[in-house]
A and B are shown apart, each in its own frame.
Chain A
Amino acid sequence: MTPDSRLHPPTLTARLVRLPNGQLRLESPTVGLYREAPRPGSLVTPDSPIGQLEILGVLHHLLAPSEAAGVVLPAPPDTPHLAHHLARRPVAHGDLLVALDPEAATATAAALTSTSAVAGTSSGQTGKLVFRAPTAGRFYTRPGPGKPALIAPGTELRTGQAVGLIEVMKTFSRLHYNGGERGGEGLPAQARVKAILVKDETDVAAGDPLFEVEASAD
């Protein structure tokens, strides 16, 4: 016996056709009623679900092929039968399920990658060493108005050295450089400030990068 399809839905993989204009066409592999199509503008990634195909009353999960990624394009205006509001749309082998724009996906993916590089661990994927805000609050580079900034590009840092202030609910706390410790995992114990990434008096979230450092020899 086949396993209970309500608990273990069978899966089918859509067929991929590359159009001359660069768009990807995901086609139905067989005959069935197509439901829960992804909405226009949503992102389809390789092997991700793109809805369900009902064949003789059995729901099959439809997956995108492993080479397909892109943003779902809206149905052309002259094809009302492709409208996404239809609960179930009869499709045959080779019929269009969704059209994807892979370049929109590349842009989205690039944006995601650059964000994650900054928001990643201290020793981010790109090899940058960043000092991050331990809590949300307002970041000050100076200990008081009219006083010089605690750090500037080129400042040599050691563990325990004050690098700025953070104000949380009217309470000011000093931020200390803490190479290798909490909030500073991966940072060297001795470092030189390379670039300051946020301006004085900027509201930051926990984990936001505040400045970039590089290891110094001594």
Chain B
Amino acid sequence: MTARGSLPAAPPLFRRLMVGNRGEVAVRISRACDALGITPVLAVSAADRGAAYTQGRETVCLGGPRSTQSYLDMRAIVQAARQSECSALHPGWGFLSENPVFAALCEAHGVTFIGPPAHAMHRMGKKTPAKAAMRAAGLQLIPGSDGILTSVEEAQAVADRVGYPVLLKAESGGGGRGMRIARGPDEVAGAYADAQAEASAAFADGRLYLERLIEGGRHIEIQILADRYGHVIHLGERDCTVQRNHQKLIEESPSPVLPELERSRTLAAAVRAAASIGYVGAGTMEFLLDQGGTLRFMEMNTRLQVEHCVSEQRSGVDLVIEQIRVAAGHRLSLRQEDIVLRGHAIECRINAEDTTQNFRPAPGRITRWHAPASEHLRVDTHVQSGYEVPPHYDSLLCKLIASGDTRDQAIERMIAALTDLVCEGVPTTVPVHLAILRSPAFRDHHYDTRSIPGWPPA
């Protein structure tokens, strides 16, 4: 480096890091640790102990196979980090990654939680404070009530103002529960009562808010990266419109239908909004693109997402490495002008599900597995031949990410990769992906969140 000889290598950010997740997530985070010279220690359940993806890694068994006994047992994970001498913990995505109590527990026991501070997580976890913060930062919202509804009469008045149909949603809701649609003034009272009852039962919180129901929109999200010193950048948007039961099937970047003006306006506003709430780390803001071409803020995910790879492939930035660096107190090494988003990237999530049996999850033993490999293809998986898909967790086997100069090129490469993928022993969702990618509706962008283009096959 200098004329007097090379400088000693920079010390690692952390020496040992606990990975509080499983499967493909654990593989992804371990890879980033390897690149940074950090020793990852995998927290595993009794079902994952000895799985192929843990070979050659240090592991600590948390508890029984069920998530509540292992990957959701906060005390066990933090104690595991402590006694295996990990000074940091990456929660991955899913499980405890958006739990502010868990983040606070880590900090209380001297383990650096790789994610946003607990207060930012808590604020964005509740719907109405999150929306208030985003409105203040200049993002467009879905028209609706100003926070919590106090009565049916107020709900009726707000619904009349924003226009029908409207959606009544639980303040503490999630997973589609505590939600009711009212298509006209005479349906508001009934929907209010039903949503309140369901929310009270499911979340012990009967508070509701109301939004105009936007039908036929497209799901678009923006990847944010922030450090502790107020620097925030975005890595472009992802279009995740192809969904089944709120589960994303295909994600791509850039969105093929987002107007350029709306894109640049919203990306800039998203960066301002993240800075205004003191956000730190990687996060995603989810929007609904309505038929008028306006992006309206829905919610923020205070974690990395499954589909982060799409943004990584376009930008060349390793988001997990950046997360770890930020958590260690480093400044972002990139400025917004350093980020160049190239070409088009598309991701398919391959699940162990039987598409002929209404997508029934199909755990079992994978007798033969062969993942395709090529220059413009990235494969994120924890699966090998002989892998036993446990019945306790989600059914994701593998993510394929294809890139190209154009959308069509990326799609063609993805079709080739899907055709080359060999998985024997359990059924997969590959047929659905092939049908979608080959369908004229997908190619011509004639689809929205209500239906899957090209599926079921005619």
Task: Name A's B-contacting residues (CB within 8 A).
Answer: 29-33, 55-57, 90, 92-95
User: Which residues of chain B have C-beta atoms less than 8 A from A92's C-beta?
Assistant: 60-62, 80
Q: What are 29 A-B interface contacts by the 8 Å CB criterion?
A: A29-B63, A30-B63, A30-B73, A30-B76, A31-B60, A31-B80, A31-B83, A32-B79, A32-B83, A33-B83, A55-B75, A55-B76, A55-B79, A56-B79, A56-B82, A56-B105, A56-B109, A90-B83, A92-B60, A92-B61, A93-B46, A93-B61, A93-B62, A93-B63, A93-B64, A93-B70, A94-B49, A94-B61, A95-B61
* A78 smallest CB distance to B (angstroms): 20
* B350 smallest CB distance to A (angstroms): 30
User: Which residues of chain B have C-beta atoms less than 8 A from A94's C-beta?
Assistant: 46, 49, 61
Given contacts A90-B84, A92-B62, A93-B63, contact A31 B76 (CB under 8 A): yes
B78 interface hit (Cβ, 8 Å): yes
In the complex the two chains form, what is the Cα distance from A94 to B49 in whole Å? 10
Apart from the given pairs A56-B105, A90-B84, 19 other A-B contacts in the complex at a CB distance below 8 Å:
A29-B63, A30-B76, A30-B79, A31-B60, A31-B61, A31-B77, A31-B79, A31-B80, A32-B79, A55-B75, A55-B76, A56-B79, A56-B109, A92-B62, A93-B46, A93-B62, A93-B76, A94-B46, A94-B49
CB nearest neighbor in B for A53 = B79
Task: Name B's A-contacting residues (CB within 8 A).
Answer: 46, 49, 60-64, 70, 73, 75-80, 82-84, 105, 109
User: Which residues of chain A have C-beta atoms less than 8 A from B82's C-beta?
Assistant: 56
In the complex the two chains form, what is the Cα distance from A149 to B78 in whole Å? 77
CB nearest neighbor in B for A88 = B83
Main secondary structure of the interface of B (DSSP, over half): mixed
User: Which residues of chain A have C-beta atoms less than 8 A from B70's C-beta?
Assistant: 93
Contact A30 B62 (CB under 8 A): yes
User: Which residues of chain A have C-beta atoms less than 8 A from B61's C-beta?
Assistant: 31, 92-95
* B95 smallest CB distance to A (angstroms): 16
* B26 smallest CB distance to A (angstroms): 16
In the complex the two chains form, what is the Cα distance from A138 to B194 in whole Å? 89
CB nearest neighbor in A for B63 = A93
In the complex the two chains form, what is the Cα distance from A95 to B78 in whole Å? 18
CB nearest neighbor in A for B81 = A31
In the complex the two chains form, what is the Cα distance from A79 to B78 in whole Å? 26
* B424 smallest CB distance to A (angstroms): 31
User: Which residues of chain B have C-beta atoms less than 8 A from A31's C-beta?
Assistant: 60-63, 76-77, 79-80, 83
CB nearest neighbor in A for B76 = A31
User: Which residues of chain A have C-beta atoms less than 8 A from B49's C-beta?
Assistant: 94
CB nearest neighbor in A for B83 = A90
In the complex the two chains form, what is the Cα distance from A33 to B61 in whole Å? 14
In the complex the two chains form, what is the Cα distance from A92 to B43 in whole Å? 10
